[in-house]
Structure 1
Amino acid sequence: MLTALRYTVLGPVRVWRDHRELALGPPKQQALLALLAVRAPGPVTVHEAVDLLWDDDPPDSAVNVVHRHIGGLRRLLEPGLPPRAEGSHVLRTGSGYRLVADSGSLDLARFRELRGEGRRAIAAGEAARGAALLVEALRLWRGPVTVGGIPHLRDHPVFVAVENEYAATVREAADATPWEVSALAEDVLDALRRAAAGRHRLDEGLQARIVTGLGATGRQAEALRLYDTVRADLSEELGVDPSPELRAAHQQVLRQGAAPPAPAAAPGPPETGKLTVRPAQLPADISSFVGRADELAHSQALLAPDDQGAHAPVVIGAISGMAGVGKTTLAVHWARTIADRFPDGQLYINLRGFHPGLPPLSSPDAMRDVIDALGVRPSQVPERPDALAALYRSLFAGRRFLILLDNARDSEQVRPLLPAAAGCLAIITSRHRLDGLVVADNARFIPLGLLTRAEGVELLVRRLGADRVAAEPAAAEAIVDLCGRLPLALAIAGARAVLHPTFSLAAIAAELRESQGGLDAFATHDTRTDARSIFSWSFQALSPAAARLFRLLSLHDAPDIAAPAAASVAGVPLREARRLLAELVEHHLLTEYGPGRFSCHELLRAYAAEQCEGQDDEETRAATRRRMVEHYLHSAHTADALIAPYRERVPLPELPDGVYPQAFDGQIEAADWFQRERQVLLAMVEQAARHSAAGDGSCWKLAATLELFLDRHGRWQEQHHIQTTALEAARRTGDLPGQANALRALGFAACRLGAHDEAQRHLTQALELFGILDDPIGQGRTHRYCAFLANVMKDHERALDHYRLAAECYVPTGYASGQAAVLNEIGWTHLLMGDYEATLLHCEKAVAKHQEIADLSGEAAAWDSLGYAQHHLHRYEEALTGYGHAIDLYRRIGDRSLEADTLVHAGDSHHARSAPRQAEEVWRQALELYESLDHPDAAGVRERLRRLAEDVTAR
């Protein structure tokens, strides 16, 4: 059960728990809470939070700061919540977070609920009741959303929209208020004054209503003074005369009229208001409709119970998704399943928001289409937009309509068409997310993604018949995968199979493969179904900068991209990149599947690549690829230096212009970045090999920065592959340092994989090249790798020889960390030889030397070796002490891989001293770490736990 919390954002942001106000923490945390509350119950993406919290360019750590503030809010709202736990109040969504709050706990939600009830009452002809409900909503207003310490917050569009909601509600209340009801009149006048005192001071509609209200309540002199003041302000500040609306209010006061100017009356429907037509305009349902069970269930849940009938609140469902994903298909299917709940009719309007040859349908033209569909004679349809809108609303009043607004361009096109009458449903489809409707109009967002593979196969069954699909199930699944599970692409591929019944599904799948991810396989002669044409409608709606980024992202040869990398792709600062990414997400050309991480559907990527090829010259494309590789190279270099600060590194040139590398707040964040970006980094090594300029060394340098991470995480096949790629690239350009580094890393990877002859060959060549280069540090690490290989091959004397040679390389250079590491590795070799006392001697020296230079990672490794030696001497308590020091150090620096290794050793010591419960506990900790890293050593820990369980059962 949720803790009783109460939030207010209409004024200073405040929170109470059981009548006790909470201290909300630093200003940015308060601002984030305000944003979550304003958007509740909808989501807030991380990049929206970043845009809110930093008025200028955000720091590179902005996303992490947002996550920390989310954690702070969770613990604030739910004391005692364990670290990293989600809790019950701030929940994770696909691309951000949402606050669990409703009209019972959040003043803005109650404000919107009352406003909705008031508008519905007015639409039903109950003006006085509606005005009273609007006034009740207005009494909740204590001022604009404010957070101390962030002056720009009030001007953020999200919070300006809240002020605009308030001003719109004031206007609605004023238009509906019977001025003879003195209590209501005073409340409305007070709200009008407050609204007009802020950013709406020169809002002539508000000022006209104040003038009218003052005159209608007997204060004509005050009304005339206000008019003179406003007229002077308009002339001085804007250089304009009062509007007709304000002048009309002034004239009314001069005539001492008591009633406010009502909206222009529209001619009513014929006779008694009964409609002459019951529209049934929904398109036909599609026989091949499949799946979408979750979306349909979510949509159905928006509807009120049948017994509420005409008293049910108006519902607005906004279906949003990329081109070709099936938005209209879902909308029509849902509308047809519930059509009988709307006895006055079902309306359909194609708003042409994204049409290849026609402009978007204007709101007045859409209204005229509806009015015509409802049987109103043309002679009764007014020309003036306000009168037209009034007639449109009046036709919905007291009736239950379903209206499907298909292919909407944006919220502004849709908003005037939304019914205000109770019992109505508006279903909207758009390639945009229509955030404005979600925030200001309480629309419910229904995101539509790709089909599952099973749903894609079922779609083919519906199109081709069960027998044909059952005869080639593997080919059917291949078609679904090659179409990227996009309904449009599947429909095109299915149509080809229908038109060619003698073609096997395997042949059609082969055709799709031969298109190599391009769009030729999805071309048709009909612009309504041709993939290029359909994608172009979204692309052409982009700003030039967003269109450029979309094109250039096709050059990023990786499955996804983070915002800082996208900034480097575009060559623009991170703040600007986030704005462009948000625009692409809004148009459903990208998907923000995680906070700050973006992916693109394969077919959209193919479209982007075609546009890039046609619009961006080779120089632009080459410059973009260079910025991408440099971004990952500099980011990985920084992360590697944080993870192992005393390890030798490859030198990098100065950061090029237009490159915005990732910044990290410590070792844990750097390690997490490597884990998160692993697939992208591997792809960038390949891209660097293909496209980097000769002599820049970016390919082998990027591979070198990945070496430690891949090794510690057991990614030895991946290591072998990228170091092979780096070696080939370095050989093509005659880059000797590149060849030496790649050969050394490749040899170590081969050793890890058990290819000892190959390892020896590569390491020998590396030693020769480092000698030619006169690089003693490079020679030293290569000798250590040769020693490691010798130990694996049980040739411990040869291993000691290589370690002595490594030390000889390090001493003249003063490389203290390398010298200390060699001491530990010599100790480990003695351990392998069974000389545990010699191990203790060397490893104690290694601990001391690492402590001298504050090399925490090296110190931890030496403590682990000491513990291992003590274990073999059967001194288990001393072993656990050494392991404890190592584990503490690994946790301090965030090295989860080596922490897991040491936990395994500690579990072995617990088991050896007959403490099975403690052994199980630390082994399970190790297993959890290994599994989080997808590390191959997890299998060994599972085996230990299995044997332990068998031993306990046997006892």
Structure 2
Amino acid sequence: MAVSFGVLGPIEVWRDGVPVNAGPALQRRVLAALLVDANQLVSADALVDRAWGTAGPRSGVRALYGYISRLRRALEGHDVSLTREEGSGYRLRVSPQAVDLHRFHHLLEQGRAAPADEEAEALLEAALGSWRGEAFAGADTPWFNAQRDVLDGERFAAQLDLTEVRLRLAKHALVLTELSGRAEAHPLDERVAGHLMLALYRCGRQAEALACHERLRRDLATELGIDPGAPLRRLHQQILAADPALHPAPITPATSRPPRASRPVPRQLPPWPATFVGRDRELAALDGLFKEPAEGGGRPTIFTIGGTGGVGKSWLALHWAHQHLDRFPDGQLYAALYGFDPAGEPEPPDRVLRGFLDALGTPPQEVPADAEARAGLYRSLVADRRMLILLDNARDADQIRPLLPGGATCLVLVTSRSHLAGLTTTHGSPHLTLDTLPDPEAREVLTRALGHDRLAAEPDAVGALLRRCAGLPLALGIVAARAAAQPHFPLAELAEELDDATGRLDALTVGDLATDLRAVFETSCRALDAPTAQAFAFLGPAPGPDIGLHSAAALLGTPLARTRAVLRALEAAHLVQQHTPGRYRMHNLVRLYATERGQDRPGDIGDAASLRLADFYAHTAYDGDRLLSPQLTPIEPSPSEAAGARSLLGDATAAMAWFEAEHHCLLAAHHFALERGLPGQAWRLAWALDTFHWRRGLLPDRMTMLGATLAALDAAGEEPATRALARRLLGRTHVALGRHDEALARLRQALTLFEEAEDAAGTAQTHLNLALAWEQQRDDAQALMHALQNLRIRETLDSPPREAEALNAVGWYHARLGHHQEGRAFCERALTLCRRDHFLEGEAFTLDSLGYIAHHSGRYAAALDHYRQALALRRELGDAYEEADALACLGDVYQSLGRPAEARRARSQALALYRDQRRDAEAERTRALLASLGRTPTR
């Protein structure tokens, strides 16, 4: 890392352009005293005198030792050394160009010796640009005060030299305001007065120029008793005579300063990417942020494009740049920074600067050896140009900062796999994150390479190729190149090769590192620290399409704060994407690579991480179900290793939100548990999702999960009560899906197993489910028989919520058989129990039953009240499945009341829910009822 020092202002130290702590004031003074005589021997006594002055301590040299020691440690390893020599002296070895004082002297000397005024102006400007304020600011000792006075004189002389050069270049209007202020500050300086007189005269202000001379003559006589010198008197006579020699003339070869060659216009952009496709949204974003340079300095001049490796950042930047070359009449600079290059290391900024200076026409002998001086000269040369500077594939912000221009006329476009948040912080640069190509644009990539006919001949193979490339432009380009190289091979062969996940990354290469997808991902991972790289490998095989923050903490076995930091680092490297707040996902091919990396680690490490995650999902789901259905008899959970799982969910609302967010991950965790031979873990997940699946109407998922779990439980020889419960839950799902034979088979098996296990509660609940199965077949008498058996058992058990459920079932089947009075009596008893025990779900079912009884008894107002109460409870519980039925029943009551508009509204809402839940029979029946009202919703 390059270290530079500043004394022309506050005493400061920078490392790669970033300020670092140079220690307390005395330590900074010791450092400055050494820097003034850099590379020379300075005695200890002289250092004490310089740094302490007349306030030096008695043991000055001993006090000096401590500061020297701390400075040595701070500067160690940065091309700077501080050594003790010849007994009592110290030498600070440092490149003179790394110290602004010596850089100022060097540039000043070059500027005064420059053969052309344009070059002299640039060098003198760069010299004066080394100053940041008062030299040695804050250092108040006799020695520093004397040095400051000398340097102030040198600075003033350099300012006058620069003014003289600018006057020769006919920039009199530019310097006039500056000269007026300088003349007020130095009223007796004849050189300043001469500059001001000449500038005023050239601006057509002859009288003011003569008045300036008269004022100086009077002041000199009053203050010093002398007249102006010969040069000023001669200038006065020339102004009086309107001497043509005072007017600026173009510099010709006959003058003492030869003309400088015209500035070259660099055109360094690589060729236009011929196969670029789409990206209209991103191009529009660039157009919106990059306005014409002449539109003002408030516009951002730096813009970064980020994204994962192979997503097409460089192509987007080049495509946009070639589209807008007219915006940059002074040329384009381009640098490949190799920040993530599989074959080498990142390009050092000072080497890039050397290339830029060459492109800008700087003679080799004039290129400074010091990196900071190169940057200063580079900024000077592009300061007034309208240029594009494209910095491609940057590693980090530190690689970029030395390459940034100082003015607002250049536009800088940076691409990187890192987020480069540091540039946003220090320069306010906008950032565009590039995502994968949507399917139509991905297809267009293949079409351009292979032609319409070849794609049309194998649509299935093309679909498979698009799925495997998942919109990643580099992967699509590799596939297109391989297919184009073998025009007679069927695309199905390539699709089959990519279909094998174990060899997919091997297939995505065309033989060199730049187009080897695995190598591209490898360079991104190489930039990660060890804990972050391990987290990346763990996240790859983690079950589920994405992962939440708490789940990731369980997977990694780290606290939330550390987990958040690791995910932030992976997001900054564009290896994960935070697609919604607190949830992270990987591109499919990146995930495949992460999984490969995980397989390279000891198996028990990766297995332990995935098992922690599955354990977290199972136990948090268990806790969530307890919040949703506290009246249900729970299964016995296993001991959890997932620390903090129990405190994650606070109430039923939080539980429903968690199930919604994690549903696909929970299904994947269930599949993982089955694959790993963990039927107990799979069973706990299946059981814990039961309430959520019912309330959201996710019955196909319910059936698939329970079917696979049941097979695993049977194969493992789990105890009869567990296998019976799994059969009952599966049978109940078959009932809801209208699969009567499968339902009866599973429920009868469950009944037998519960009876063998002498499980009265399980037996009773199975009878209730059998009643539902017979209800589906419109055999309400058979249903009532099972409901009565359920009630008889429940009355012997101490479970008021289940007894209420049984009473409601008996009342419901009496009502369906036309026994409205009996049915109402049973249901009112059930409602009392539900409200007493705050059993909201049971209360909602019972209100449905009472609504049905009231409706079929001609008591429409009471029916409306019951259904409205039931609907409110369904919505409070988040039970969309039963909400649909409640809305449908409300529609029936509204129609009976002769209120068609309200009937249509209720049925339309029911229809939308039925369609979401894929309940086709109910949806068709509701659509027909809506049609009878005179308006049929479109499908």
Deviations 1:566-601 (A, max 9, x none): 222212222222221111111111121111122211
Q: Which residue of 2 aligns with 1:460?
A: 446
Give 1:401 deviation, angstroms.
1.3
Give 1:296 deviation, angstroms.
0.8
Select which of 793, 797, 802 maps to 1:818.
Answer: 802
Mapped to 1, the partners of 2:55 and 2:331 lie a distance apart of 46
Select which of 663, 674, 685 maps to 1:678.
Answer: 663
Give 1:434 deviation, angstroms.
1.6
Q: Which residue of 1 aligns with 2:726?
A: 742
Q: Which residue of 1 aligns with 2:279?
A: 292
Per mean C-alpha deviation after superposition, the further-off stretch among 474-483 and 779-788 is: 474-483
Give 1:935 deviation, angstroms.
6.7
**Is contact 2:306–2:419 with CA below 8 Å preserved after alignment?**
yes
Select which of 867, 879, 895 maps to 1:911.
Answer: 895
Indicate yes or no: 2:534 matched with 1:548: yes
* Cα distance change of structure 1 residues 203 and 608 upon mapping to structure 2, 3 Å threshold: farther
Partner letter of residue 253 of structure 1? N
Give 1:676 deviation, angstroms.
3.0
Equivalent residues in 2 for 1:517-532, closer than 5 Å: 518-532=504-518
**Is contact 1:726–1:738 with CA below 8 Å preserved after alignment?**
no
Q: Which residue of 1 aligns with 2:352?
A: 366
- Whose Rg is larger? 2
* Cα distance change of structure 1 residues 783 and 558 upon mapping to structure 2, 3 Å threshold: same
Give 1:734 deviation, angstroms.
0.5
Mapped to 2, the partners of 1:747 and 1:476 lie a distance apart of 41
Deviations 1:314-346 (A, max 9, x none): 522211111111111111111111122111111
Give 1:922 deviation, angstroms.
3.5
**Is contact 1:356–1:537 with CA below 8 Å preserved after alignment?**
yes
Q: Which residue of 2 aligns with 1:597?
A: 583
Partner letter of residue 764 of structure 1? R
Partner letter of residue 609 of structure 2? T
Indicate yes or no: 2:605 matched with 1:620: yes
Select which of 845, 861, 885 maps to 1:877.
Answer: 861
Per mean C-alpha deviation after superposition, the further-off stretch among 925-934 and 561-570 is: 925-934
Deviations 1:622-657 (A, max 9, x none): 322322221211121122122222122221022215
* Cα distance change of structure 1 residues 747 and 487 upon mapping to structure 2, 3 Å threshold: same
Deviations 1:653-679 (A, max 9, x none): 222156747823432332233233322
Mapped to 1, the partners of 2:677 and 2:609 lie a distance apart of 11
Q: Could you say what secondary structure the match of 2:933 adopts?
A: helix
Give 1:719 deviation, angstroms.
1.7
* Cα distance change of structure 1 residues 869 and 787 upon mapping to structure 2, 3 Å threshold: same
**Is contact 2:695–2:880 with CA below 8 Å preserved after alignment?**
no
Q: Which residue of 2 aligns with 1:89?
A: none
Q: Could you say what secondary structure the match of 2:847 adopts?
A: helix
Equivalent residues in 2 for 1:711-730, closer than 5 Å: 711-730=694-713
Mapped to 2, the partners of 1:482 and 1:755 lie a distance apart of 36
* Cα distance change of structure 1 residues 312 and 620 upon mapping to structure 2, 3 Å threshold: closer
Partner letter of residue 818 of structure 2? G
Mapped to 2, the partners of 1:352 and 1:571 lie a distance apart of 35
Q: Which residue of 2 aligns with 1:397?
A: 383
* Cα distance change of structure 1 residues 247 and 426 upon mapping to structure 2, 3 Å threshold: closer
Mapped to 1, the partners of 2:64 and 2:930 lie a distance apart of 80
CA RMSD of aligned residues (A): 3.9
Give 1:789 deviation, angstroms.
1.0
Indicate yes or no: 2:759 matched with 1:775: yes
Q: Could you say what secondary structure the match of 1:950 adopts?
A: coil
Indicate yes or no: 2:286 matched with 1:302: no
**Is contact 1:817–1:853 with CA below 8 Å preserved after alignment?**
yes
Per mean C-alpha deviation after superposition, the further-off stretch among 425-434 and 517-526 is: 517-526
Q: Which residue of 2 aligns with 1:700?
A: 683
* Cα distance change of structure 1 residues 776 and 447 upon mapping to structure 2, 3 Å threshold: same
Q: Could you say what secondary structure the match of 1:697 adopts?
A: helix
Deviations 1:414-454 (A, max 9, x none): 12322232221111111112222223312121111111221
**Is contact 1:563–1:596 with CA below 8 Å preserved after alignment?**
yes
* Cα distance change of structure 1 residues 497 and 843 upon mapping to structure 2, 3 Å threshold: same
Give 1:762 deviation, angstroms.
1.1
Select which of 881, 887, 898 maps to 2:882.
Answer: 898
Equivalent residues in 2 for 1:466-481, closer than 5 Å: 466-481=452-467
Deviations 1:270-310 (A, max 9, x none): 9877664321111111211111111111111112247x268
* Cα distance change of structure 1 residues 435 and 831 upon mapping to structure 2, 3 Å threshold: farther
Give 1:832 deviation, angstroms.
1.7
Equivalent residues in 2 for 1:510-659, closer than 5 Å: 510-515=496-501, 518-617=504-603, 619-657=604-642
Per mean C-alpha deviation after superposition, the further-off stretch among 680-689 and 383-392 is: 383-392
**Is contact 1:275–1:375 with CA below 8 Å preserved after alignment?**
no
**Is contact 1:321–1:448 with CA below 8 Å preserved after alignment?**
yes
Mapped to 1, the partners of 2:27 and 2:868 lie a distance apart of 71
**Is contact 2:695–2:879 with CA below 8 Å preserved after alignment?**
no
Give 1:377 deviation, angstroms.
2.2
Indicate yes or no: 2:676 matched with 1:784: no
Mapped to 2, the partners of 1:273 and 1:546 lie a distance apart of 54
Q: Could you say what secondary structure the match of 2:600 adopts?
A: helix
- How high is the TM-score relative to the length of structure 2? 0.72
Mapped to 2, the partners of 1:781 and 1:453 lie a distance apart of 49
Q: Could you say what secondary structure the match of 1:781 adopts?
A: helix
Q: Which residue of 2 aligns with 1:381?
A: 367
**Is contact 1:639–1:667 with CA below 8 Å preserved after alignment?**
yes
Mapped to 1, the partners of 2:22 and 2:892 lie a distance apart of 75
Per mean C-alpha deviation after superposition, the further-off stretch among 606-615 and 943-952 is: 943-952
Q: Which residue of 2 aligns with 1:503?
A: 489
Select which of 785, 789, 796 maps to 1:805.
Answer: 789
Mapped to 2, the partners of 1:841 and 1:622 lie a distance apart of 57
Q: Could you say what secondary structure the match of 1:405 adopts?
A: strand
Give 1:818 deviation, angstroms.
0.8
Equivalent residues in 2 for 1:912-951, closer than 5 Å: 912-926=896-910, 941-950=926-935
Indicate yes or no: 2:414 matched with 1:432: no
Mapped to 2, the partners of 1:652 and 1:662 lie a distance apart of 16
Select which of 377, 390, 394 maps to 1:408.
Answer: 394
Q: Which residue of 2 aligns with 1:278?
A: 265
**Is contact 1:309–1:423 with CA below 8 Å preserved after alignment?**
no
* Cα distance change of structure 1 residues 624 and 313 upon mapping to structure 2, 3 Å threshold: closer
Select which of 824, 846, 857 maps to 1:840.
Answer: 824
Indicate yes or no: 2:303 matched with 1:320: no
Tell me the matched-pair count.
744
* Cα distance change of structure 1 residues 389 and 662 upon mapping to structure 2, 3 Å threshold: farther
* Cα distance change of structure 1 residues 233 and 261 upon mapping to structure 2, 3 Å threshold: farther
**Is contact 1:700–1:741 with CA below 8 Å preserved after alignment?**
no
Give 1:465 deviation, angstroms.
2.8
**Is contact 2:336–2:392 with CA below 8 Å preserved after alignment?**
yes
Give 1:247 deviation, angstroms.
8.6
Q: Identity of aligned pairs, percent?
A: 34
**Is contact 2:300–2:428 with CA below 8 Å preserved after alignment?**
no
Deviations 1:75-111 (A, max 9, x none): xxxxxxxxxxxxxxxxxxxxxxxxxxxxxxxxxxxxx
Q: Which residue of 2 aligns with 1:731?
A: 714
* Cα distance change of structure 1 residues 767 and 621 upon mapping to structure 2, 3 Å threshold: farther
Partner letter of residue 585 of structure 2? S
* Cα distance change of structure 1 residues 738 and 928 upon mapping to structure 2, 3 Å threshold: same
Give 1:544 deviation, angstroms.
1.6
Q: Could you say what secondary structure the match of 1:874 adopts?
A: coil
Q: Which residue of 2 aligns with 1:131?
A: none
Give 1:525 deviation, angstroms.
2.5
Q: 5+ residue gaps in structure 2?
A: 12-19, 34-50, 76-98, 101-133, 166-256
**Is contact 2:311–2:472 with CA below 8 Å preserved after alignment?**
yes
* Cα distance change of structure 1 residues 278 and 582 upon mapping to structure 2, 3 Å threshold: same
**Is contact 2:273–2:319 with CA below 8 Å preserved after alignment?**
yes
